[in-house]
């Protein structure tokens, strides 16, 4: 029995298009995440983005009269951390809807299931070659034109 490859290709292309659209929607959802935290007295407010990026700091007019600079800095840092955790939870919720079953969105976002966060080293530092001649000329070559495997 002959297989209708055109129908299979059309179905695969439709699946691919739906996946791209869902990815774009997810990206847009993640980009719009903003979380806000306020001090107990309401004098300090911070807003952070989806990756904990500080987007706004709002201070009451009398904040400098009520808080010393070190206290103000600690308050801003504390509020930023709290808002970043809330933003990360929202981002994890968004990702959980589109990730395969069993995938932990917290780990994907750089944290751990236990709530601890650790940065992921993307590029491990390599050994430094101190035996390079002082007069060695590197101007003739360009690592930009080489494939990543040829650079090593």
Q: Sheet with 54-59: list strands edge to edge.
A: 35-38, 44-48, 54-59
Tokens 């306020």 belong to which residue?
Answer: 38
- What whole-number distance in Å separates Cα of residue 8 and Cα of residue 106? 36
pLDDT tens-digit profile of 41-78? Answer: 999 999 999 888 999 999 999 999 999 999 999 999 99
Per DSSP, the three-state class of 45 is: strand
Pairing of strands 44-48, 35-38: antiparallel
pLDDT tens-digit profile of 2-21? Answer: 567 888 898 899 989 998 99
Q: Give the domains, in start order, of the chain with CATH numbers.
A: 11-102 (3.30.1310.10)
DSSP 99: S
Residue 58: which H helix or E strand, with range?
A: strand 54-59
Task: Count the residues in the chain.
Answer: 152
Q: Which residues make Cβ contacts (< 8 Å) with residue 96, sequence separation at least 6?
A: 105
pLDDT of residue 120: 41
């Amino acid at each position: 029995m002959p297989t209708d490859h055109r129908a299979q290709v059309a179905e695969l292309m439709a699946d691919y298009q739906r996946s791209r659209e869902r990815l774009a929607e997810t990206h847009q959802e993640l980009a719009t995440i903003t979380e806000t935290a306020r001090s107990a007295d309401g004098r300090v407010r911070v807003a952070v983005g989806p990756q904990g990026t500080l987007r706004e700091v709002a201070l009451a007019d009398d904040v400098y009269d009520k808080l010393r600079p070190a206290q103000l800095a600690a308050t801003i840092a504390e509020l930023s951390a709290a808002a970043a955790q809330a933003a990360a939870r929202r981002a994890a919720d968004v990702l959980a809807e589109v990730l395969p079953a069993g995938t932990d969105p917290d780990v994907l976002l750089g944290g751990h299931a236990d709530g601890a966060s650790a940065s992921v080293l993307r590029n491990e530092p390599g050994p430094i070659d101190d035996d390079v001649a002082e007069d060695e000329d590197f101007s003739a070559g360009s690592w930009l034109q080489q494939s990543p495997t040829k650079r090593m």
